[in-house]
Amino acid sequence: MATSITVHDVAKAAGVSASTVSRALSGNTAVAAETRDRVVEAARQLGYRPNLAARGLITGTTHNIGLVVPDLENPYFASITKSVQSRALAAGYSVFIADSDEDIRTELELVHQLSKQVDGLILCSPRMAASDIAAVAGQTMMVLINREWEGLTSVVVDDAEIIRLALEHLHALGHRHIAYVGGPEKSWSNQKRWAAIERIAPTFDDLEVGKVGSYAPNFDGGQSAADVVVASGATAALAYNDLVGLGILARLTTRGIRVPEDLSVMGIDDVNVATLVSPGLTTVRSPLKKVGRSAVNSLVDLMNPTDRHSAPEDLPVQLVVRQSTSVPQQHS
């Protein structure tokens, strides 16, 4: 803060009025070339930077956006956050970050705290109730990631295609009994993924997919689930996401159960850490970078209704085969 320099300082230095400085620098209105040069030079010398808050007060546009995520330490959200902020920067926006720590009340509070100082909000995998989303949607422009709501713009990965690729891969290897290790009941993605399984599994010959409980969407959740998976008699586990997959992997290793010889394990998303372990985790890649970028693009379109809307980006998912899956062992 200190006593930062304002338009008036620049105006005095350049020997013009404050309004002329504003015009010269924002470049909207015509200014005499010579005057503008003088103003620009003065601004440069003084190191003038406009106060965006003040500008926003009158233009009604802050050039800030907000991003709300459930957990920044989850590499899934870290990747999305990184791409959101990168794209926002390129589009001339600064971004407020808000980590709800998976808590619904915090999530809502953060949204309210931010809504007044941003032009728009991106809600990533929001856990909040639909009614709250609807209420908030009236306050500010909004884009949803991994959730849909009538009238709101959404960016979602194709869960059905993810499931199809995963089942296809395991079925092709010869697996006929697969355990799906579920994520949080309230997670929209988890619901979609299980629904897709129920719809798609019957399209494969002789394939049985059982659902194993509901677990926290992280490493610990996977560790908890592993023993139940083993007991289920399935020859392959499909985890709700990579972190759960890694948890399963770790627990199986501890028990001396070999992967993939004794049991195949698949994750979903291909977050960065999936390559860190050995055996590497077979997974279906979600285009997280594109998700973040696309969400920003959509939001920018929403906030600037005049501009030509950019074509919606498609978000291809892709099977990534590593060492954690193989043909099932014959019964010994």
Partner DNA sequence: TTGTAGGCGTTATCAA
Partner DNA sequence: TTGATAACGCCTACAA
- Integer distance in angstroms from the first to the last C-alpha of the chain? 73
Among 37, 41, 44, 59, binds DNA (CB under 7 A): 59
CA neighbor of 182 nearest in space, from 211, 162, 159, 161: 211
| The two structure tokens encoding residue 19 | 């309004």
Which listed range, 1-9, 90-98, 117-125, 277-285, lies at the site for DNA (CB under 7 A)? 1-9
Distance CA 265, CA 283 (A): 9
Taking the least distance from each CB to a second copy, the nearer of 188 and 219 is 219
Distance set, CA 78 to CA 71, 89, 95, 329 (Å): 8, 16, 14, 37
Which listed range, 51-59, 76-84, 142-150, 187-195, lies at the site for DNA (CB under 7 A)? 51-59
Under the binding rule (CB under 7 A), the answer on residue 117 touching DNA is: no
Cβ atoms of 299 and 293 within 8 Å: the answer is no
Distance CA 12, CA 281 (A): 64
Q: Which contiguous run of DSSP H or E holds residue 94?
A: strand 94-99
Taking the least distance from each CB to DNA, the nearer of 28 and 306 is 28
Under the binding rule (CB under 7 A), the answer on residue 134 touching DNA is: no
Which listed range, 30-38, 75-83, 154-162, 253-261, lies at the site for DNA (CB under 7 A)? 30-38
User: Of a second copy, DNA, none, which one does residue 75 interact with (CB within 5 to 8 Å by kind)?
Assistant: a second copy
| The two structure tokens encoding residue 195 | 């629904």
Distance CA 107, CA 69 (A): 8
Distance set, CA 117 to CA 52, 62, 96, 114, 120 (Å): 11, 7, 9, 6, 9
User: Residue 55 Cβ, how far from DNA at the closest point, in Å?
Assistant: 4
User: Residue 28 Cβ, how far from DNA at the closest point, in Å?
Assistant: 5
Which listed range, 8-16, 171-179, 237-245, 247-255, lies at the site for DNA (CB under 7 A)? 8-16
Distance CA 84, CA 296 (A): 6
Under the binding rule (CB under 7 A), the answer on residue 6 touching DNA is: yes
Under the binding rule (CB under 7 A), the answer on residue 12 touching DNA is: no
What would the x/- binding string for DNA be over residues 207 to 226, using CB under 7 A?
--------------------
Among 19, 45, 254, 310, binds DNA (CB under 7 A): 19
User: Residue 35 Cβ, how far from DNA at the closest point, in Å?
Assistant: 3
User: Of DNA, a second copy, none, which one does residue 20 interact with (CB within 5 to 8 Å by kind)?
Assistant: DNA
The CA radius of gyration of the chain, in Å to the nearest whole number, is: 25
Residues that bind a second copy (CB under 8 A): 1-2, 4, 49-54, 56-57, 60-62, 64, 67, 71-73, 75, 78-79, 81-82, 85-86, 89, 94-99, 101, 106, 110, 112-117, 119, 138-141, 219, 246, 250, 253-254, 272-273, 275-278
Distance CA 278, CA 75 (A): 18
State the CB neighbour count (10 A cutoff) for residue 8.
11
Can you give the binding site for DNA, defined by CB under 7 A?
Answer: 4, 6-8, 15-20, 22-23, 25-26, 28-32, 34-36, 50-51, 54-55, 57-59
